[in-house]
Amino acid sequence: MRLTRRTLLATVYGTGIAACAPIPKVAATGGAGPDATAMASMIRAGDMTASEAVEAAIKRCETANAQLSFVVNDTYELARARAKTKLSGPFAGVPWLVKDLNDVTGAKTRHGSRATASAPAATEQEAFVNATFAAGLVCIAKSAAPEGGYLPTTEPLAFGPTRNPWNTGYSTAGSSGGAAAAVASGVAPMAHANDGGGSIRFPAANCGLVGLKPSRGRLIDDQPGARPLDLAVQGVVSHTVRDTAGMLAATEATGSAAVYPPVGLITGKGAKRLKVGVLTKTFTGVEAHPEVAAAVNNTAKLLEGLGHNIVGTTTWPTAPGFIDDFLSFWSLGAMQDLAAMSKAIGKTPDETLFEPFSLQMAENGKKLTPAEIGAIQQRLLAAATAYDTWIKGFDVVISPLFRSPPSPLGFLRGDVPFATLRERLTDQVGYTLIHNISGAPGISLPLGWSSNGLPIGVQVSGANGDDGLLVQLAYEIEAAAPWIGKRPPVWVG
For residue 412, the one-letter residue type is: L
Q: Which of 431, 492, 429 is nearest to 171 (CA)?
A: 429
For residue 485, the one-letter residue type is: G
Catalytic residue among 69, 99, 185, 281: 99
Query: Using CA atoms, how far apart are residues 95 and 433, in angstroms rounded to an integer?
Result: 31
> DSSP label at 479?
H
Instruction: Classify 364 in phi/psi space as left (phi over 0), alpha (psi -120 to 50) or beta.
Output: alpha
Q: Which of 290, 331, 322, 328 is nearest to 435 (CA)?
A: 322
For residue 217, the one-letter residue type is: G
Active site residue 99: yes
Active site residue 444: no
Catalytic residue among 41, 143, 171, 175: 175
* CB distance 225 to 217 below 8 Å: yes
Checking DSSP bridges between strand 167-171 and strand 210-213, what pairing results, if any? unpaired
Active site residue 51: no
Catalytic residue among 41, 199, 438, 461: 199
Residue 206, helix vs strand vs coil: helix
The strand pairing partners of 398, in sequence order, are 278, 460
Q: What is the DSSP string of 238-251?
A: ESSHHHHHHHHHHH
H helix runs in 284-430, sequence order: 290-305, 322-345, 356-367, 370-390, 418-428
* CB distance 309 to 275 below 8 Å: yes
Q: Which of 273, 162, 201 is nearest to 446 (CA)?
A: 201
Q: What is the DSSP string of 97-129?
A: EEETTS--TTS---TT-GGGTTPPPPS---HHH
Query: Using CA atoms, how far apart are residues 106 and 78, in angstroms rounded to an integer?
Result: 8
- List CB contacts of 439: < 8 A, sequence separation 6 or more: 215, 216, 217, 226, 384, 464
Specify the length of the chain in residues: 493
Catalytic residue numbers, as ranges: 99, 175, 199
